[in-house]
């Protein structure tokens, strides 16, 4: 079973921007409400993916991902999704982590504007990694910061006291 091992954090400040090696605009939509799995389509620049992920909170969960035709992805986004998320993903090399590991920093727009979250995929739950100075509070166990939740409950609708 394909397994995603990922840690998620708030981002503090803009110091990370100097280390960005590339950025990619993303639009994604969810075909299911909350349940046992999240099913989404995503446009990643000119590429499109169908993703099925176990709807569990934590650093490890089952994940399946498949390429799909971009035109079909656009059609699904326009007609079948119950919630959507738009963001720019910035890639920053991760020091103090296994070779090739990168920080994926999601800068949300639209109804989730103002939220910036960093994720790091790791080879094991206990894999070491360095915490850059711009890394804030860990969100791995807070489902409110998962994209599926944000698609259904946008950050802009949260009470001010609950926002990061």
Provide the pLDDT for residue 2. Answer: 84
Q: How far apart are the first and last CA of the chain?
A: 34
54-102, pLDDT tens digit by residue?
A: 988 888 999 999 999 999 999 999 999 999 999 999 999 998 777 789 9
| Six-digit token string for 49 | 């993916």
CA dist 65 and 2 (Å) reads 9
Q: What is the pLDDT of residue 56?
A: 86
Q: What is the pTM of this model?
A: 0.93
Are 102 and 130 in contact by the 8 Å Cβ rule? The answer is no
- Residues 123 and 101: their CA atoms lie apart, in Å, by 9
pLDDT, residue 70, reads 98
> What is the three-class DSSP state of 144?
helix
**Is 146 an annotated catalytic residue?**
no
Strands 22-30 and 37-44 come out as antiparallel
Report the pLDDT value the prediction gives residue 162, as an integer from 0 to 100: 83
Predicted confidence at residue 104, as pLDDT, reads: 98
**CA 147, CA 40: separation in Å to the nearest integer?**
10
Q: Note the pLDDT of residue 98.
A: 75
Q: Which tokens hold the place of 47?
A: 């590429």
Specify the CATH architecture of the domain 3-162: Beta Barrel (2.40)
In the prediction, which pLDDT does 97 show? 74
Q: What percent of the chain has pLDDT over 90?
A: 82
Q: What are phi and psi of 156, to 5 degrees?
A: -65, -25
The ranges of the chain with pLDDT < 70 are 1
**Which of the following is catalytic: 30, 145, 146, 149?**
30
What pLDDT score was predicted for residue 34? 84
Alpha helices in the chain (DSSP H): 70-79, 147-152
């Amino acid at each position: 079973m394909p397994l995603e091992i990922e840690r998620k954090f708030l981002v503090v400040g803009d110091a990370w921007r100097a280390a960005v090696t590339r950025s990619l605009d993303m639009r994604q939509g969810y075909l299911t409400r909350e349940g046992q799995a999240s099913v989404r389509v995503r446009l990643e620049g000119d590429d499109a993916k169908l993703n099925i992920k176990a709807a569990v909170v934590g650093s490890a969960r089952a994940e399946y991902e498949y390429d799909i035709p971009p035109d079909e992805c656009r059609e699904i986004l326009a007609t079948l999704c119950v919630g959507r998320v738009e963001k720019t993903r910035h890639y920053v090399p991760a020091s103090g982590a296994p070779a090739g590991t990168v920080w994926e920093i999601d800068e949300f727009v639209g109804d989730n504007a103002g939220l910036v979250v960093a994720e790091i995929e790791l080879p094991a739950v206990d894999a070491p990694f360095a915490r850059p100075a711009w890394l804030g509070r860990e969100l791995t166990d807070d489902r409110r910061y998962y994209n599926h939740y944000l698609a259904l409950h946008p950050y802009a609708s949260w009470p001010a006291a609950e926002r990061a």
